Chains A and B, each alone.
Chain A
Amino acid sequence: MRAGLSQIALAERSDKDRVQIGRYEAGTVAPSLDTLGDLVRACGFDLSLELVPVDEASVSALAELQQISPERRVDRLLDRLAPDGGS
């Protein structure tokens, strides 16, 4: 999308099958990492992969938030915004 290429143009540039690119775009099939790299390069970009540590505290906080209702999530936000709130 950012490269402004149609599926046909991307297929020609990357030497991949247009139908398969359509499947990738629809999300019905996932490309391999090598294929993804080829497609990204054909779009004029490079794919940078970086190992970073998992933020366990953040993951845990998000998991806890998934256990409460949307109503309580809003209440929690308002508690945090209150003058004597958490943050």
Chain B
Amino acid sequence: MPRQPERFDPRAILGALERNHVDYVLIGGLAQVIRGADITTTSVDICPSFGPGNLERLAATGAELGATTSDGGAVELTDATIGAEPVVSLTTAVGALRIIGSPAGAPKGFVDLRRGASKEHLGHGVQPQVASVGDLARLASALRRPHDVERLAQLRRIIELDADREPRPVGSTEPARKPSRSASRSARRLTR
């Protein structure tokens, strides 16, 4: 019987990933929340590096968390298992951990996403690398599920708000500045 998490504690999952030195970029709903989206989620979605030893460290994290497959089976994390499944879903006592090797919209996975990612402090010493809002929008745009479309609208708005928040020169009387070129570029790329 599938195990139900007792409570969602993303910091416990992210902390275990950090203790085991797993290289990954946080994506999905939790990353969207961290970037400022007004949504709820109960899973930690990561795009791991396929670099030497990383999947072994990811497997060690799963063992530390007591992770099982969604039907309660044993977890096997290798290049083959992650490559064969678009999403490897693990169940832990503190929430779902979903491993996505090649997310739609980022065919090179970790390599594509790490460029725009940044480390974010989430308290309790947890500092994951979180995908950029532009990359999160690109992933949502590629998936095109109904809830992704709704989230995409929020992510586009966040890109605009980020651009508006850029500091203005001291003494400027301009009411608002145009979005930066990079922000405009990010917004335009979402349509591709």
B42 to chain A: closest residue by CB: A81
Bound CA span A77–B188, Å:
29
Tell me if B161 and A63 are in contact (CB < 8 A): yes
B3-30 with Cβ < 8 A to chain A = 8-11, 30
Known: A66-B161, A73-B34. A27 touches B185 (CB 8 A): yes
Contact B161 A87 (CB under 8 A): no
Residues of A near B41 (CB, < 8 A) are 77
Residues of B within 8 A of A71 (CB): 121-123
A59 in contact with B192 given A73-B36, A77-B33, A81-B40 (CB within 8 Å): no
Q: Assess whether A49 is interfacial by the CB under 8 Å rule.
A: no
Asked whether any CB of chain B lies closer than 8 Å to the CB of A51, the reply is no
Chain B CB count within 10 A is highest, among A1, A28, A74, A87, for: A74
Q: Does A33 contact B (CB under 8 A)?
A: no
How many Å lie between the Cα of A41 and that of B61 in the bound state? 49
In the assembled complex, A30 has its CB within 8 A of some CB on chain B: yes
Determine if B42 and A74 form an interchain contact, defined as CB atoms under 8 angstroms apart.
no
Which residues of chain B are near A80, meaning CB under 8 Å? 40
Q: B154 at interface (Cβ–Cβ under 8 A)?
A: yes
A26 proximity list for chain B (CB < 8 A): 185
**CB nearest neighbor in B for A87:** B40
Q: Tell me the A1-24 residues at the B interface (CB within 8 Å).
A: 1
Determine whether the beta carbon of A65 is less than 8 Å from that of B189.
no
Interface set of A (CB-CB < 8 Å, partner B): 1, 25-28, 30, 58-59, 61-63, 65-66, 69-71, 73-75, 77-78, 80-81, 87
